A = this chain, B = another copy of it.
Amino acid sequence: MSKACFDSLIHAHNRLQICALLHPVSELEFSVVKAQLEVSDSVLSKHVKALEQANYISVAKRASLSRPRTWLSLTELGETAYLGHVAALKEIVGL
């Protein structure tokens, strides 16, 4: 079990949602995440870049329906950090 560790990179609202969406699945398309967060391309792109540079998510470009799409998935490091952050939140709010 991962230890509680507050992570301010993950804490930011949009990035917390990105990690939460990716956590239960193996990967998601950029456009799906964007629709869930209701943010612009540029905003999501910048958060994706930040998470990728921290090695919290991996980005793969692959064809889907014959068009190139971007797929996002949590890395193991990212999952550990995410679960640690969630544990930290639970410690703070007491649950």
Contacts and interface: CB of A to CB of B under 8 A. Distances in A.
**Stoichiometry (number of copies):** 2
A67 interface: no
A33 interface: no
A93 interface: yes
A13 B91 CA distance: 13
Interface stretch (A16-24, A42-50, A71-79): A16-24
B86 A17 contact: no
Given A6-B13, A13-B8, A13-B11, A20 B86 contact: no
A41 B20 CA distance: 34
A86 B68 CA distance: 38
A92 interface: yes
A11 B13 CA distance: 8
13 contacts: A6-B13, A8-B13, A11-B11, A16-B92, A16-B93, A17-B92, A20-B92, A20-B93, A20-B94, A24-B94, A86-B93, A86-B95, A89-B89
